Chains A and B, each alone.
Chain A
Amino acid sequence: MRTYPSVEQTQRWRLLLIGLAVTTFAGLILQRLFWYQVTDRERFVALANEEHQERRPLAPARGALLDTNGHPIALNVMYDAVYVYRPALTSLDRAVTVLTAATGKTRDQVMDAIQRADKQWTLLASRLPANAASQIASAGLSGVELRSLPAREYPEGSLAAQVLGFVGADGSGLSGLELTLDDALAGKPGVVVTEGDTEGDEIAIGRKALIPPVPGSDVVLTIDRYIQRVAERELDRAVQANKATGGIVIVMNPTTGAVLAMATNPTFSLTSGAPLEASEQQLYKPVVVTDTYEPGSVMKLMTAAAGVEEGVVTPDSRYHDNGLALINGVPIRNWDGGAYGDVTVREILVHSLNTGAQWIAGLLGPDRFYRYIEAFGFGAPTGIQLNGEAAGSFRRNTDPGWSALDLATNSFGQSISVTPIQMITAIAALGNHGILMKPQIVKEIRGPDGVKRFDPQPVRSVVSDRTAETMLNMMESVWNQPALSAVHIAGYRLAAKSGTADIPAPNGYSTGKTYASFAGFAPLPNPRFVILVRIDRPEAIYGGVVAAPVFRAIASEILTYMQIPPTDVKVPPVDATAGQDRSDLAAADRPSR
C-alpha cells in the first residue's frame, strides 16, 4: 500500500526547498559580492574613481633666468586665453561687444572667430592682460571660457638669444640654457584629485586631494646684461661695416672662467614667436660651443707659451727668418710673404710669423707640443653648461697619417679645429697665472631647497706663473706695435694677439675668405677680462684690421662700466694758490684721442 507523505511533511519539504533555493541564491549573491568587494576590489575601485574623480595636473611655474646682477632676462608670466563655443552662446551681440572691447580685436574678427567655433571650443585670443580677462569674466557670458596659460617673456628683448635658447608650446626647454637647465627650471608638476558630479563639475564638498607643484628654480647666469648688450651692438656694427657673414664675441673673467658675454651674429629673435624656416634653424644652436673653426695666428700664443715653459726659447731668443720654411717639401710662408731676417720670439708674435711659430714647434718636438695643446684644453669639451659642445679636432703625432707638416701648420693655428669657447678659455689661462679654468655660464641656482652656487673650477696649471707673465708681456708688445696704434685706449695697458685664418674648402682653402679674430686682456698687469672677437668672411680679411676695432670698442666700454681707472693717470701739479677750477685741470690731464 502506497503511503503518502503527510501535509506537514510536504510543507516541510517545500520549505526546505525554498530555503535551499534562497540560501543558494543568497550564496551566489554573497559570492558575487565577495568578488566585487574583495577579490577584484582594486579594479572596481579604479573604475568607480574614474567615473567620479578627476585628476588635474598642476603645472609648476618655470624659473627665471637672471643676469649676474639679478636682472631678469627670461621669466614666466601667466596670461589668460579666451575660448568661444558658438552653440553655447546665449547672447551673441553682448558676447561680441564684450569680447571686442576686451581683446582689442575688431568686431568682424570676433564674429569670424565665433562663426568658426560651431563645432568645438576655439581660441579667440591669447596673452590677455589681467584687466581684459577680468572684464570678460565679470560679464559672465555663457559659451565663453577663460583659461590661464604661462608664457615666456624676455624683458631685455632678444639679448643672448642663442645662449638662452627657447621653450616650446608646452613650456619645456628646446635649445640653449633653457634645454640644458630644463630640470632645474621646470620644477615638478603637482596634481589635484577632486570628485565630480554627473555633469563633470567639481563637487564643492567632495573629497579633494592636492599634491602641490614644486616651482622651478631661478638660474643666475654669469652673463652681465650690460656687457652682453655692448658686445652684441659692436659685433652687429662690425659685421655690417665689414660686409661679413657673421661673427662672435666672448668676454670672460680670466680668474674665474665666468663668461660675461657671449654674442653671436646672425642670431634669432626671442620675441617674434614665429619659428624659423627649416633652412635657418641652425641659428637656434649656440655656435660658440657647437661649431669649430681654424683659429689661425691666435694659436701662436699657445706655441710660444709651450716653448717658454719648456725653456726651448725665451722672449729674446733669436730666429733668422728668410720668409720660407720647407716642411716635407711643402713651403710655409708668412702671412704677407715677407722675410724679416733676424727676429726675436717677441717679434715673431708681434709680426705674427708663421715661419717663426713652426720653428718653435720644431724645437719643442711633437710630443711636448701636443702635450701642451691638450693641456690648454683643445681636443676635448670644456664642460661649459651648454648642450651640444664640440670637442674640436687635430691630428696628434700618434694618429695615423700624421706628418711633420701637421706640427708646423698646427703651430700657427691651421689644420686644427677649435671652438671659440675653447680658444678663449685657453687664452684666459695666460691671464690667470697659467691656470686653466673651466668656463662657467651659470653662477647659481636659487631653488625651493636653497641656493646652489657654482664656484670657479680650476682644471689644471698649464704653464707656470712666470711663463704666463712673460706671455702677457709679449702680448703687450703685440698690442703696442705701431700698426695697432689706432685702436689703443689711452691710459691703459692691454695685451692682445690677432689672428687671420683661411677658411677650409673642399680642395684646400677658400681664397679671400677668412676668420678675422682678435683676442686680448685688459687691463694689465692684473687682467679683469679677456675678449675674443671673430668676424667671419669680412671684406677686409685681417684680424688686426677688422676685429681689433671691435675689441677696442668693447674693452673701452667695459673699462668704464667696471670703473677701472687708467694705470698711467697723471697726478695734477701742485698749485695750492691757484684759483682755477677742476675742469681746467681735468682738461690739461685729458688723454689725447
Chain B
Amino acid sequence: MARIAGQTVPRASVFAQSRAPAQHAARSPARIASWIACAFLLASAALSLYLVQVSSVATAGYELERLQAERKEWLARNGQLELELAKRHSLVWSESQAVERLGMIRGPRPEYVVVSQTTDECAATTCALTDRRPSSSPRETPRRPTPRNPVAGLSDLLAWVSSIHGGRE
C-alpha cells in the first residue's frame, strides 16, 4: 500500500493514475496527427475522385456532342442517298434512260390470250398452244423396264438408258 496525501491507496492504483495522463499526453498528438492525415488523405482521395469523375463526365460530354454531330451527318447522308434512290426509281429518270441510253421505243398494245382453266377447255383451246415447246417431239418415252422377263428387260433397259441420254438437249 502507498500513502498519498494521507490516504492509503492500493499501489496499482497509484501507478495507474500516475501513468495514464502521461500515456494520454504522449498518444494524443500522434493520434490527432494521424487523424488529420487520414482526413487529408480521404479528402484528397474524394477530391481526386470528384475531379476524375468531373473530368470523365466532361470528356464524355464532348464525346457525346461529337457523336451527335456525327449522327446528324450520317442521317443527312442517309436522307440524301434516299433521295438519290427515289430519283433513280422515278418515272422521269426511268423513261429518259430507257429512251436515251437504251434506245427503247413505246411498244404496241399488249395482246391477251385466254387460257382456259378446265381440262376439257384446256385440251380444246389454248393450253395446248401455251404448253407447246419447240423441242417436245411426239416421240414417246419408253417406260422403265420391269424385272419380269430378263431378255425383254435387258432390251427395255437399253432403250430406256438411250432415251435418257438422247432426250437431253
Contacts and interface: CB of A to CB of B under 8 A. Distances in A.
A205 B57 contact: yes
B86 A71 contact: yes
Residues of A contacting B: mostly = mixed
Interface string A200-235: 001011000000000000000000011001000000
Contacts of B114: 569, 571
A148 B76 contact: yes
A130 B73 contact: yes
B83 A153 contact: yes
A134 interface: yes
Contact of B111 (A130, A225, A589): A589
Contacts of B32: none
B86 A586 contact: no
Contacts of B134: 581
Interface of B: 54, 57-58, 61-62, 64-65, 72-73, 75-77, 79-80, 82-83, 86-87, 89-92, 109-114, 116, 124-126, 128-130, 132, 134
A80 interface: yes
Interface string A140-155: 0000000010000101
B76 A155 contact: no
B20 to A, nearest CB: 44
Contacts of A202: 65
A319 B134 CA distance: 63
B89 A71 contact: yes
B58 A204 contact: yes
A448 interface: no
A458 interface: no
Contacts of A560: 109-110
Given A75-B82, A78-B79, A130-B73, A572 B112 contact: no
Nearest to B74: A130
Interface string A49-81: 000000000000000000000011001111110
Contacts of B83: 75, 77, 153, 155
Contacts of A26: none
A129 B73 CA distance: 10
Contacts of B109: 556, 560, 591
A586 B113 contact: yes
Given A80-B76, A226-B91, A576-B128, A75 B86 contact: yes
Interface string A551-581: 0000010001000011001011010100001
A216 to B, nearest CB: 14
Nearest to B107: A560
B74 to A, nearest CB: 8
A76 B79 contact: yes
Interface in A397-449: none
B137 to A, nearest CB: 11
A374 interface: no
